[in-house]
Chains A and B, each alone.
Chain A
Amino acid sequence: MTSPRTVSRLARILALIPYVLSKDSVDVGEILDRFGYTEADLSRDLNMLFVCGLPGYGPGDLMEAYIDENEVIIDAADYFARAPRLTSTEALGLLAAGMAIIGSGQANPTLSSAVAKLTKVVLPEGEAAISVEVAGELDTIGQLRTAARELLAVRITYRSLSREEETVREIEPWSVFATLGNWYVQGYCRLVRDERVFRVDRIRLLELTDSHFERPEGVPEPGVSYSPSDDDIVCELGLSDQARWVLDYYPVEILSESRKETVIRFSSPDAQIPARLLLRLGSAARFISGAEVGETVAEIGQDLLARYP
């Protein structure tokens, strides 16, 4: 099969030609910036176009494509006067991105009109056929985003996912992101003096402070990348078919898979998370090992059974 790189290169060429044809003059710098080209890649592609054209492939049949005094020239390529239509993946990617931002309450009128125009072209009679909401709209997101932009620390009252306790802490927000249907803020926590990820809907109160911070160089891209550490509580669980959704929601390691059962290793900083999961799953999951998790299940289980005599 032809590589995705070849397809990407072709897609960019077919977008480049109509753009250049539509302009009176375009300089090299603009093309590099606008289409994400390096200078070497651009001259390689132009050199190639120079030998493409209509059958016969004589001097009058070929395209003109070259750089002249820092200007990109393409000519005799009327068949490529318009860009090819968007693939469905491209169209969906753009629409979904726009709609997700609009749905998060962070939109501006320009983005809304862009999405409306694009929808009209892609879905002429079915505007109501697509809808994207990332997660519940939370006032806190706007404040966190402002704080991350202006490099201001925030004071949050936070209820951790695993412990039944509330803490007040100052954090330096680096980025705010949504994944798996929840919003998270990633940053430096001044309380534990380390990098942490917090779930935004678990922040009960939020206050902007006037304390500035410096964003460290090379902060990784936003994303929940939980990497197990040596202090982690580890347990092994067997998931039946009805419990397989766990693989979508938690960063787990799959140890073995059969038709009947998927065996996973679950690492977490706290026994509460896998324990509650086991209670939730009931007979859909099988506890294999992990003493601390087992004890925690028994503890919460006793409390629960007391409520359901």
Chain B
Amino acid sequence: MGGGGPEGATLTRDDQNHPMQNVIERVINLLIYLLESPVPVTAEKVRFTVAGYGDQTDDAFHRMFERDKEVLRRLGIPLERQALDAFEVDFGYRVDPEKYALPDPGLSEEERFALSVAARMVRLGGGNAGLEGLHKLGGVERGAGLEPLGADLGAESEMLGDLFRAVTERRTIRFNYRDEGRSLKPYGLAHRRGHWYLAGDGGQGIRVFRVDRMADLEIGDEPGSFSRPPLFDIRATMISHPWDLGSEPTLVAKVRFDPEVAWWAARTLGVDAVDGEPLEVELPVSNEDAFVGWILSFGASAEVLSPGSMRAEIRSRVQAAVKGVA
């Protein structure tokens, strides 16, 4: 269709009739109606009551209503859908004002300010949802100076938000992990060393998954469908080094770090080293693959002394790399 038709004309009238303006106006009217209505209301009722839906064909109305419901969900507004009769023919919608409203955490202006500084310093993926959330808590007056410290908890923030919701609302989830389908009661989320981890129980005790390796996430419909073990503490499930993570049996590796890298290895491991001296340590390893990778990142300045099987693994890995460049 050409741009000069009547449709094009309506789009270019003044700001008040801009499509985005219309959506916002309509969604606000819809939300007011759903909050104020004492009983669930049908889509038809909405259509003939709420401003902005009139003069639409059936199809156009349904598309519009679906989009507006989606906007409410993205705003985090708990839209309830209930069957209006025993046969589940008619459905009604409402927003419970109690569930809609933010429980007041009682933050002082100083506390809000501290949170806003933190949210400005720490980014979670692309956007800054934390700062937007702060508006709901009353916003903060800006005027803070430049903060020379920042952190990027780089992550797929959309999936994280969904996982966090599953954790807080205690909903079971399903996902694929390394091409294997899994079902899990998610107990907690943690960020360590640049990665997010989800801990939960899939029927074989508590296990930990790296969030960026999870795919095809589906969140269960039922909130409160499990209870978290009373003594669960996410910190206790998180390990301090990547080589502690894994299901292989734990073995003990004896390693020697040459003097020039000893201080750095000591710092990473949280042990003491004497300046200018080599460092020899015994370390428990449950993920041999990750551990060997870490040792090889020191080049020829670190050496596994035992066990012999790990020395053989290193040798074959190095041989493979050398052969690959020959």
Q: How far is the CA of A36 from the CA of B116 in the complex (A)?
A: 13
A283 proximity list for chain B (CB < 8 A): 317, 320, 324
A114 & B115 in contact (Cβ 8 Å cutoff): yes
- CB–CB B21/A202 < 8 A: no
Residue from B141, B192, B321 within 8 A of A281 (CB atoms): B321
Q: By the criterion CB–CB under 8 Å, are A131 and B325 in contact?
A: no
Q: Is the CB of A122 within 8 A of B107?
A: no
> B212 touching A248 by the CB < 8 A rule?
yes
Given contacts A13-B24, A114-B115, A278-B325, is CB(A54)–CB(B33) below 8 Å? yes
- Taking CB atoms and an 8 Å cut-off, the chain B residues in 207-251 that contact chain A are 212, 228, 232-235, 238
Give the residue name and chain of the B residue nearest to A15 (CB): B135
Complex contacts, B21 vs chain A, CB 8 Å = 44, 48
Contact present for B135 and A89 (CB under 8 Å)? no
- Assess the B299–A164 pair: CB atoms within 8 A: yes
Report the nearest B residue to A22, measured CB to CB.
B138
Q: Is A221 an interface residue (CB 8 A)?
A: yes
- Would A135 and B129 count as touching, CB distance under 8 A? no
Residue-wise, chain B 72-86 has the 8 Å CB interface mask toward A (1 for contact) of 001111100000000
| A84 engages B101 (CB within 8 Å) | yes
Which of these binds chain B: A1-9, A190-198, A206-214, A250-258?
A: A1-9
Is there contact, CB below 8 Å, between A47 and B16? yes
Residues of B within 8 A of A248 (CB): 212
- A134 on interface, CB distance cutoff 8 Å: yes
B235 touches A279 (CB 8 A): no
Alpha-carbon distance A132/B95, docked complex (angstroms) = 33
From B137, B154, B301, contact of A164 by CB (8 A) = B301
Cα separation A7 to B107 with both chains bound (whole Å): 25
Instruction: Decide: B164 and A89 in contact? CB cutoff 8 A.
Output: yes
Q: Is the CB of A88 within 8 A of B76?
A: yes
A304 pairs with B299, CB closer than 8 A: yes
Contacts of B283 in A (CB 8 A): none
**In residues 93-144 of chain B, which contact A (Cβ within 8 Å)?**
97, 99-108, 110-115, 117-119, 121-122, 124, 128-143
**Hey, which chain B residues are within 8 Å of A297, CB to CB?**
321-322, 324-325
Who on chain A is nearest to B135 by CB? A15
Q: Classify the interface of chain A: helix, strand, loop or mixed.
A: helix
A153–B113 alpha-carbon span in the complex (Å): 29
In the assembled complex, A159 has its CB within 8 A of some CB on chain B:
yes
* Contact indicator A92/B314 (Cβ below 8 Å): no
- Binary per-residue interface labels of chain A (271-309) against chain B in the complex, 1 for a CB within 8 Å, 0 otherwise: 010001011111101110000011101101111111110
Closest to A177 in B: B150
Cα(A59)–Cα(B94), bound, Å = 25
A122 to B76, CA, bound (A): 13
Contact of B67 among A1, A19, A222 (CB under 8 A): A1
Q: Could you tell me if A15 and B23 are in contact, using CB atoms closer than 8 angstroms?
A: no
Whether B189 contacts A177 by the Cβ 8 Å rule is no
- Residues in chain A near residue B300, CB distance under 8 A: 300, 303-304, 306-307
A48-B25, A55-B29, A181-B192 provided; 10 other pairs, C-beta below 8 A?
A: A2-B70, A12-B135, A79-B36, A82-B101, A85-B102, A94-B118, A94-B119, A117-B111, A181-B194, A297-B325
- What are 28 inter-chain pairs, A to B, with CB distance below 8 A? A9-B20, A11-B75, A11-B135, A14-B75, A30-B141, A34-B138, A47-B16, A55-B50, A82-B101, A87-B75, A94-B119, A94-B134, A96-B122, A98-B119, A101-B151, A111-B118, A117-B107, A121-B102, A128-B233, A159-B264, A178-B150, A201-B268, A202-B264, A248-B212, A280-B292, A281-B321, A308-B303, A308-B318
